[in-house]
């Protein structure tokens, strides 16, 4: 079996590992794959240095080699805060209103991708499979090719690919996509993002595209693009659920909410997650059904994220204000309807909190996949499973949405407070039989389409 080389912006060195869903899907997702092939993981250390060493720091953890580089403050600013998270992230989540187009940050993005290529190329052996992750590193494959790397190389995009009409607002969009075609295989989370990408290649680049196989022929080079829906590490997550920490968390949540139904949301504090809109939906529910304020406690776990970026600071302030308003208006002496927690939690604690919650509320405005939805399903008690309310705009809705309205998750439009409010009412009133019938197919999907399956599928196709 070829050695796997994973390259991503962040490298999850073990001490920093935590709840995969809460801290972003990438970290938790790749552990198992690398362990299997004794692989190498290369990326940014997350640290800044005035004069970084061009040589990566290499360390071995549990059979996996982790190689990291530090970045200069200006690089972090232009590449990570700038082009990756103030241009590509909002644009790819359909937020043209938040998308900044600055030539300097575009240059910083290209510069850091070249730096990655310089540092990573010498570590790659002839038989390695090279797998690059996410929007930070789209041009990296092209940089590696220019340095003579001939290996099979794949790229996986963890976030949506926007419709062509939005994507063309990006200056130099052709150049970016042309660098992507240096990879042999490009993976997307679901068919919708894949179709947008193929549409772009055909319409804007004039590439020859076979929609059925995802084969793209352009300037004498062939790339295949396919959908590979990411999953969770089901066995590991379930094992976490058997720990004392998980059980205690479940009990603590249950005893603190007494006879009320607990509803839970777990998200990085990001505008794509639809958090203010979610609170509006909850506010609408309380307005419509004031007698039910006693029935429900909502726990929102939202660890802060990317706080050097203005739009992230703004969304945090907005959430604090909205939570305060709803709690101010709806609290009683012995009851606070919304618990808003700005901290990350361990996987075991999250498992316990999900299991204690009879409703999972996952309403991103746009999301590549969303692993919180899958973790919520995995943590339910088969004899008394909770209800998942899921945004129809999350990649996960294609798998968990069910064949018809009586199966799988309750799908809602996250922009509509009325839709969210109706979803909460339906979830609260749902009889046990229906909860079981909806949960069972979701559970099978989450169990079977695990991250191990995702990795095996992608690396099999990459190996060719």
**Binding residues for ligand G6P, per CB under 6 A?**
10, 24-26, 134, 158-159, 305-306
- Residues in a beta bridge with 177: none
Nearest to ligand G6P of 226, 306 (CB atom)? 306
CB of residue 370 vs ligand G6P: minimum separation in angstroms? Answer: 10
**Per annotation, catalytic residue among 136, 158, 184, 280:** 158
Place of tokens 């603590």: 252
Shortest Å distance, C-beta 285 to ligand G6P = 28
**Phi-psi sector, 258: left (phi>0), alpha (psi -120 to 50), beta:** left
- Residue length of the chain: 464
- What is the C-alpha separation between 131 and 34, in angstroms, rounded? 11
Choice between 10 and 316, CB closer to ligand G6P: 10
| Residue from 70, 184, 233, 367 carrying the catalytic annotation | 367
User: Which residue, 25 or 141, has its beta carbon nearer to ligand G6P?
Assistant: 25
Tokens at 281, concatenated: 């939906």
- To the nearest whole angstrom, how small is the minimum distance from the Cβ of residue 16 to ligand G6P? 11
What SS3 state is found at 239? Answer: helix
Closest residue to ligand G6P using C-beta atoms = 24
- Name the residue nearer to ligand G6P (CB basis): 19 or 129: 19
Smaller CB separation from ligand G6P, 30 or 297: 30
Asked if 7 and 137 count as a contact pair (C-beta separation under 8 A), the reply is yes
As given in the structure block, the two tokens for residue 72 are 């200069």
Give the tokens for residue 246: 């998980």
364 is written with which tokens? 């991103």
Provide the minimum distance between the beta carbon of 27 and ligand G6P in the complex, in angstroms, as a whole number. Answer: 7
State the Cα torsion 129-134-139-143 to the nearest 10°.
-30
382: burial class by Cβ within 10 Å (0-12, 13-18, 19+)? exposed
For residue 205, give Cα distances in angstroms to 34, 144, 175, 176, 318: 35, 22, 10, 11, 41
* Four-CA torsion 235, 239, 240, 241, nearest 10 degrees: 110
Is 134 part of the annotated catalytic residue set? no
Residue 72 CB: number of other CB atoms within 10 A?
18
Integer CA distances (angstroms), 447 to 228, 308, 438, 454, in order: 16, 37, 15, 12
Of 19 and 253, the one with the shorter C-beta distance to ligand G6P is: 19
At closest approach, how far in Å is the CB of 308 from ligand G6P? 10
Q: In Å, how far from its chain's centre is CA 37?
A: 24
Q: Based on the residue annotation, tell me whether 127 is a catalytic residue of this protein.
A: no
Least separation in angstroms between CB 80 and ligand G6P: 7
Q: What angle do CA 342, 30, 396 make, to 5 degrees?
A: 65
Q: How far apart are CA 194 and CA 161, in angstroms?
A: 7
- The helix or strand, by DSSP H or E, that contains position 155, with its residue range, turns out to be strand 153-156
Report d(CA 329, CA 100) in Å as an integer. 37
Hey, is 355 helix, strand or coil?
Answer: helix
Q: Which is nearer to ligand G6P, 112 or 159 (CB)?
A: 159
Shortest approach of ligand G6P to residue 136 CB, angstroms? 7
Nearer to ligand G6P, 52 or 160 (CB): 160
CB 123 within 8 A of CB 56: yes
Query: Please, what is the minimum distance in Å from the beta carbon of residue 333 to ligand G6P?
Result: 39
Is the Cβ of residue 10 or residue 278 nearer to ligand G6P in the bound state?
A: 10
CB of 29 to ligand G6P, least distance (A): 9
What is the number of other CB atoms lying within 10 angstroms of the CB of residue 51? 7
Catalytic residues: 158, 367
């Amino acid at each position: 079996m070829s050695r796997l080389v994973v390259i991503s912006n962040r490298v999850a060195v073990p001490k920093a590992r935590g709840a995969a869903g809460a801290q972003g899907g990438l970290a938790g997702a790749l552990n198992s794959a690398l362990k299997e092939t004794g692989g190498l993981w290369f990326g940014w250390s997350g640290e800044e240095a005035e004069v970084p060493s061009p040589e990566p720091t290499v360390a071995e953890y549990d059979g996996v080699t982790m190689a990291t580089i530090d970045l200069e403050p200006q690089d972090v600013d232009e590449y990570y805060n700038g082009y990756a998270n103030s241009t590509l992230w909002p644009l790819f989540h359909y937020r043209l209103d938040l998308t900044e187009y600055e030539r300097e940050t575009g240059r910083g993005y290209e510069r850091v991708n070249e730096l990655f290529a310089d540092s990573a190329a010498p570590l790659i052996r002839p038989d390695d499979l090279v797998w690059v992750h996410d929007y930070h590193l789209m041009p990296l494959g092209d940089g590696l090719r220019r340095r003579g790397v001939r290996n099979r190389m794949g790229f996986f995009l963890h976030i949506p690919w926007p419709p062509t009409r939005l994507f063309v607002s990006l200056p130099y969009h052709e150049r970016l996509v042309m660098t992507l075609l240096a990879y042999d295989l490009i993976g997307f989370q679901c068919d919708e993002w894949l179709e947008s990408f193929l549409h772009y290649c055909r319409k804007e680049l004039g590439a020859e595209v076979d929609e059925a196989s995802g084969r793209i022929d352009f300037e004498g080079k062939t790339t295949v693009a396919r959908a590979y829906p990411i999953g969770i590490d089901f066995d590991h997550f379930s094992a976490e659920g058997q720990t004392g920490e998980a059980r205690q968390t479940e009990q603590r949540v249950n005893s603190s909410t007494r006879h009320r139904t607990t509803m839970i949301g777990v998200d990085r504090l990001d505008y794509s997650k639809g958090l203010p809109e979610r609170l509006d939906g909850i506010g609408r529910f309380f307005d419509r059904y004031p007698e039910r304020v006693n029935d429900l406690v909502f726990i929102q776990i939202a660890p802060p994220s990317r706080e050097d970026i203005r739009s992230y600071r703004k969304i945090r302030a907005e959430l604090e204000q909205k939570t305060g308003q709803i709690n101010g208006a709806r609290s009683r002496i012995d009851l606070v309807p919304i618990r808003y927690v700005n901290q990350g939690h361990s996987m075991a604690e999250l498992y316990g909190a999900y299991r204690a919650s009879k409703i999972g509320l996952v309403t991103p405005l746009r999301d590549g996949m969303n692993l919180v939805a899958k973790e919520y399903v995995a943590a339910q008690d088969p004899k008394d499973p909770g209800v998942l309310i899921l945004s129809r705009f999350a990649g996960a809705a294609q798998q968990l949405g069910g064949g018809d309205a009586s199966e799988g998750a309750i799908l809602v439009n996250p922009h509509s407070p009325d839709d969210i409010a109706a979803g909460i009412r339906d979830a609260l009133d749902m009889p046990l039989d229906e909860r079981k019938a909806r949960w069972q197919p979701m559970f099978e999907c989450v169990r079977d389409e695990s991250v191990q399956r995702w990795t095996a599928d992608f690396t099999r196709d990459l190996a060719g």
